[in-house]
Amino acid sequence: MKTILVTGGAGYIGSHTLVELDKAGYQPVVVDNLVNSNIESIRRVEKLIGKKIPFYNLDIRDAEALEKVMEEYEFFACIHFAGLKAVGESVNKPLEYYSNNMGGTFVLIEQLVKHNCKNVIFSSSATVYGVPETIPITEGCPKGMCTNPYGKTKSMLEDVLMDVQKADKEWNIVLLRYFNPIGAHPSGEMGENPNGIPNNLMPYITQVAVGNRECLGVFGNDYDTPDGTGVRDYIHVVDLARGHVAALSAIERKCGLGIYNLGTGRGYSVLDVIKTFEKVNGVAVPYRIMPRRDGDVAECYSNPQKAKNELGWSAEYGLEEMCRDAWNWQKKNPEGYN
């Protein structure tokens, strides 16, 4: 059984990926400092798969601590989720973002080289396209000017990893550009567990629906989109998790460098998401129109054809399942993992 180092595996996307890795016959080992997650997510994964997951509470910038883990296992590959991800916070605390995301990745790569693991899957983001030049966005679309430090770290780390692979062809590196992951494991055992006021649309909707918050603010209804609200490519987190298993298969085939959009290829507006959520779940989501949010683009959705052709991966779930599973998780866990 191949062993996979999963940094940030206690987080939202990481924890869902652990389940899919287990299903595909891999042994995940998690390192996470729980700066934005809760150990309970690992317990829930263990409950779902009926096995223990080796877990190490450490900051990946701590080379010594990471090295101890590297020495204990022989890793086939690393899936690198660990990082800070709040766009707004990154504008106010740029150094924290550069230190954590860039610094953490440098230490990680050094350790991987030292222990001869040259297979990496990196969590990138549609945010690297900035204001996209063309829609739907293909991987060939130029990377835009990212407007915030978070986006810049993703774009710079992509460049770093591409250079690493260029210098040494033994590396297999897959950059996965996620669109908008939402939803939860269909069991309702695992889901998104944001700290404080959610920044993202779906956790805000579920918190309004469950009664934790009064009303959703819709950020702008005067965009050049069919109903004036922002359009995004929402993708079920379980589909996204499976994308990592598909990327591992590409690595097994020695893919060299691979860059893939992971999205559904369909754009939905904020009002589409609210309406679908209300219809599927039979609950009301009161909202009011607010001013546009700084830094938002009108439309962002993918052309996911490259992932389909080369990885044999495509999203299976639609918006209805995303809304159903997000609500199932929130209803069963009104306070998340806390």
Residues that bind ligand NAD (CB under 6 A): 8, 10-14, 32-37, 59-61, 81-85, 100, 104, 123, 125, 178, 180-181
d(CA 56, CA 111): 16
Q: Mind giving me the DSSP string for 87-108?
A: HHHHHH-HHHHIIIIIIHHHHH
**Amino acid identity for residue 330 in this structure:** Q
Q: Is 288 helix (H, G, I), strand (E, B) or coil?
A: strand
User: 236-273: b or e for each residue (b if 16 or more CB lie within 10 Å)?
Assistant: bbbbbbbbbbbbbebbeeebeebbbbbbbbbbbbbbbb
Q: Is 206 in the site for ligand UFG (CB under 6 A)?
A: no
Residue 293 binding: pick among ligand NAD, ligand UFG, none (C-beta 5-8 Å cut-off by kind): ligand UFG
Residue 239 binding: pick among ligand UFG, ligand NAD, none (C-beta 5-8 Å cut-off by kind): none
150 catalytic residue (yes or no): yes
Using CB under 6 A as the binding rule, the residues of this chain from 242 to 281 that contact ligand UFG are: 270
In the complex, residue closest to ligand NAD by CB: 11
Using CB under 6 A as the binding rule, the residues of this chain from 293 to 322 that contact ligand UFG are: 293, 296, 300
Q: By C-beta, is 139 or 283 nearer to ligand NAD?
A: 139
Residue 219 binding: pick among ligand NAD, ligand UFG, none (C-beta 5-8 Å cut-off by kind): ligand UFG
Question: What letter does residue 300 receive in the DSSP assignment?
Answer: E
d(CA 256, CA 197): 40
User: HSE (CB half, 13 Å, CA atoms) of 151?
Assistant: 18
Q: By C-beta, is 199 or 228 nearer to ligand NAD?
A: 199
Note the residues at the interface with ligand UFG (CB under 6 A).
85, 87, 125-127, 179-180, 199-201, 204, 216-219, 230, 232, 270, 293, 296, 300
